[in-house]
């Protein structure tokens, strides 16, 4: 039975509903970290160490959540992060997320490895869709994909730069998952024990003649699907991406260009010098390098180096106060990845809209209780770091 969305009041409620609906193989893929999951724990701890020092008797009433991102004014500081295979959570998942987010004025960044193609998602949320790019081994095929993205009306390209090798996510191997499902006794039993999901995501498309869900941004004759995820070498993620590749993309991509996965001031400086429009300070949701520093710990030094570039932060956001803290540390906006997926699993597009609305309501409450009226006024001195005082 589907949950009553009105009973889901915080992120953990949506997470619990998602866990019940999804097979373990898919839930753990979207929910967990890498290796020993140290970065996942420390990223959360770094946000929790930051305490908000309120200003009282300010007469604050309504708060302004608008912000400037890449030269545009957005009504909220939220952006939906690119997440692979959202379309396996619910059919049409990426388009459902995009349409729900658009109703709140929240841009959505579509992943290269999405199940729904860019053309469909762009129609679901006109003018509100960014595209995330992985550079493939065959650079010509990468540029061909960019032409397709441009033709769909996308203006902002986000290049993920923190995945030069495949990270170690041991639970995926145990669960029989690698950008698709590998049949093992454990994975078959897992899927069979979640019949609602199995019908919606796998069986119904087959019955309706739509075939097995695949990855439509790959060349048609090289396209993997969720039961055959093996990739042709030409469209595997390139391991030899350099700053020269980024400089070339800066020449060929005439829209806004953002690098995702930046954690060092030196990389911010280099990005600024070659004309990059923005960076996403990110640990890839703590799903890549398990010894990476927490975003909250490095963000202030990176914003100091950014100059006029837009700085977006992501990884580990669970509540409105997390958004407040990252903005106070200097970010212009934040990306949220897991929360929209929890909402999608719990209740489709309605669940996505509800969890994003919940996050914005929590941010408004945090601002009200802290005596702040506008995001543009948030400052580092509103935070107290209690490291060592726990």
pLDDT in tens, 334-377: 999 999 999 999 999 999 999 999 999 999 999 999 888 888 88
Q: Is 55 helix (H, G, I), strand (E, B) or coil?
A: coil
Mean pLDDT, residues 167-191 taken together: 76
The confidence score (pLDDT) of residue 294 equals 96
Query: pLDDT (tens digit, 9 = 90+) per residue, 182-206?
Result: 767 777 888 888 889 888 888 887 7
- Give the mean pLDDT of the chain: 91
Q: Is 77 helix (H, G, I), strand (E, B) or coil?
A: coil
The confidence score (pLDDT) of residue 180 equals 67
389 pLDDT more than 60: no
The catalytic residue positions are 284
Burial 345-374 (b: 16+ CB within 10 A, else e): bbbbbebbbbbbebbbebbeebbbebbbee
Domain 28-169+233-370 has CATH 3.20.20.70: yes
Distance CA 174, CA 184 (A): 10
The confidence score (pLDDT) of residue 388 equals 44
Task: Give the pLDDT band (50/70/90) at residue 168.
Answer: confident
HSE of 115, CA atoms in CB hemisphere, 13 A = 27
The DSSP symbol for 293 reads P
pTM for the model stands at 0.93
List residues bridging with 273 in a β-sheet: none
Closest CA to 106 of 339, 304, 293: 339
The confidence score (pLDDT) of residue 211 equals 77
Mean pLDDT, residues 221-235 taken together: 80
């Amino acid at each position: 039975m589907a949950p009553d969305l009105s009973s889901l009041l915080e992120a953990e409620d949506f997470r619990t509903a998602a866990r019940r609906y999804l097979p373990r193989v898919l839930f753990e893929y979207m929910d967990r970290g890498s290796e020993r999951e140290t970065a996942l724990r420390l990223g959360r701890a770094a946000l929790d160490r930051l305490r908000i020092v309120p200003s009282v008797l300010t007469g604050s009433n309504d708060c302004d959540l608008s912000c400037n991102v890449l030269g545009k004014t957005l009504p909220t500081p939220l952006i939906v992060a690119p997440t692979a295979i959202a379309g396996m959570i619910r059919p049409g998942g990426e388009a459902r997320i995009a349409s729900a987010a658009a109703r709140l004025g929240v841009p959505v960044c579509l992943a290269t490895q999405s199940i729904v193609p860019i053309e469909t998602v762009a129609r679901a949320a006109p003018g509100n869709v960014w595209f995330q790019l992985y550079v493939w081994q065959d650079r010509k095929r990468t540029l061909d994909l960019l032409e397709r993205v441009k033709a769909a009306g996308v203006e902002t390209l986000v290049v993920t730069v923190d995945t030069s090798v495949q990270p170690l996510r041991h639970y995926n191997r145990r669960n029989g998952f690698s950008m698709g499902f590998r049949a093992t006794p454990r994975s078959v039993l897992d899927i069979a024990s979640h019949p609602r999901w199995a019908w919606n995501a796998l069986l119904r498309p087959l019955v309706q003649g739509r075939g097995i869900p695949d990855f439509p941004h790959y060349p048609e004759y090289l396209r993997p699907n969720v039961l055959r995820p093996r990739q042709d070498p030409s469209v595997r993620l390139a391991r030899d991406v350099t700053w020269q590749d980024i400089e070339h993309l800066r020449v060929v991509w005439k829209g806004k260009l953002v690098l995702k996965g930046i954690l060092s001031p030196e990389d911010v400086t280099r990005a600024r010098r070659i004309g990059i429009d923005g960076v996403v300070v990110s640990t890839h949701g703590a799903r890549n390098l398990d010894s990476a520093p927490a975003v909250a710990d490095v963000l202030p030094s990176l914003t100091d180096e950014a100059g006029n570039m837009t700085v977006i932060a992501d990884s580990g956001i669970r509540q409105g106060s997390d958004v407040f803290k990252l903005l106070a540390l200097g970010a212009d906006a934040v990306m949220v990845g897991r929360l929209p997926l929890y909402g999608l699993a719990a209740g489709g597009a309605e669940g996505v809209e509800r969890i994003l609305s919940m996050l914005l309501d929590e941010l408004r409450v945090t601002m009200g209780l802290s005596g702040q009226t506008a995001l543009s006024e948030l400052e580092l001195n509103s935070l107290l770091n209690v490291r060592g005082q726990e």
